[in-house]
Amino acid sequence: MEDSCFMVVIAILFLSFILVLYKYCKSSTSNCLKGRKNETSLPLGTLGWPLLGETMEFISCAYTDQPETFMDKRRRMYGKVFKSHIFGSPTIVSTDEEVSRIILQGDSNTFVPSYPKSLTILMGESSILLINGYLQRRIHGLIGSFLKSPNLKAQITRDMQKFVQESMQSWDEDGLIYIQDETKKIAFQVLVKALISLDPGQEMEFLRKQFQEFIAGLMSLPINIPGTRLYRSLQAKKKMVKLVHTIIEAKKKDGSSKVPKDVAEVLLNENIADDIISDNMIDLMIPGEDSVPVLITLAIKYLSDCPAALQQLSEENMKLKKLKDQTGEELIWSDYLSLRFTQTVITETLRLGNIINGVMRKAMKDVQIKGGYVIPKGWCVFTYFRSVHLDENLYDSPHKFNPWRWQDRDTSGCSFTPFGGGQRLCPGLDLARLEASIFIHHFVTQFKWTAEDDSIVNFPTVRMKNKMPIRVKRRSNQNAFCLNSKLNCEGSSKQ
């Protein structure tokens, strides 16, 4: 299966390169010539084969269980910052935490987003992922402020608890439960309600079905003709936008609310154009389908492999549950975020799992960086988070799951950037932690489980190969703790 997928990717890339050959030869060559004029200012490295660059080797490494080997090999030869040529563009690769921080914090005068052609077509010109300048800062600020508000956190907590309980009540002890599928369904419903106040039902199911069709084309051949992957994804987006437009029109007829209950109303109250709102509502659904479910799934994976961490996490969550049962109080969002060891587990999952491997930017002018090197105007720069998070000079035994490392360590430094940084820092990072905390709490306090064999796939997106299958047994005694694990934990000693 993996071999066939690999060959498909190779074929897609080859065809993509042929299609953009003329454009590449015209623009990219001039950029390379400019780079040669300042040869001494460029970082060390190689541009690889003509046209293909080093893309094939990058992809072949990306499909392994250690995709960072492409970067590690060049770090040893050239240093933490080096030049390469991947995905059709001469690129400066940064695996240095300080350089990456400068790039992430750069404004639109220095760096702008750079994405594959298929993704930019699907997202559209008004996507928050692609727009720059004042409009980007305004929309990002409005969304970020709302997502951090106590009112929304309270709503997210109620919705997440409801959907988690409904899902877990249906779990069959005699069959396999696929954590990745379960969390996708839950997280998507929670996020869509926060975005447009849509409740579960036929419209939600329609939206989810179309969204899965849409997201499948983000990394596809950039050919928009009937029958192609990109064409089908664009058609799915049109259907979703139509539904969102209908919801927006209904909100406008009802009149503005002083206290907006969803992201769409926040933007409506600020007179953001309907088309911009609709497009961005679709784009903002991606975390509900991708990053949040993967975060929860990887946390369960790592806990399944590490009984010592699971023991301590379960005791912490059992203690909170017992306290709330005794007082008769409901769990609120601050209760979940107060679970200190649970938060270290989530942090370590983000570091080790690297749900977002890195981001790409394009230099709008020559930018000087550490070491006196220059990123030439027009070149791409790839800040590769994974290499930083797995750097043995920054983390002891970096490939080992060890949540105890975060008990006395700050997460605000430039060596930990799982959500990006700067003006494009993911606005939903707090909600991702909250949703993961809620799911983990109810999971460990209601079930003991055995995890089936599974492995992590890192390309083109991070996910579990077999969707993280487990067999569960409901706890008869809520104060008991038991886990049947097939693997021993290497991180049982607190560091």
For residue 357, give every residue at least 6 positions away whose Cβ sits within 8 Å of its Cβ, in sequence order, or none.
Answer: 67, 384, 385, 386, 458, 462
Beta carbons of 118 and 218 less than 8 angstroms apart: yes
Q: Is 273 exposed, middle or buried (0-12, 13-18, 19+ CB in 10 A)?
A: exposed
Any known ligand binding at 426? yes
Tokens describing residue 327? 């007082």
Element (H, E) at 146: helix 133-147
How far apart are alpha carbons 70 and 57 in whole angstroms? 7
Tokens describing residue 389? 């998070």
- Tell me how crowded residue 170 is: count the other CB atoms within 10 A of its CB: 9
Q: Find the DSSP H helices in 274-373.
A: 274-283, 286-289, 291-304, 307-327, 333-337, 340-353
Strands 89-94, 380-384: parallel, antiparallel or unpaired by DSSP? Answer: parallel
Handedness of CA 226, 230, 233, 235 (dihedral sign): negative
Sheet holding 447-451, edge to edge: 177-178, 469-474, 447-451
Known binding-site residue numbers for heme: 426
Known binding-site residue numbers: 426
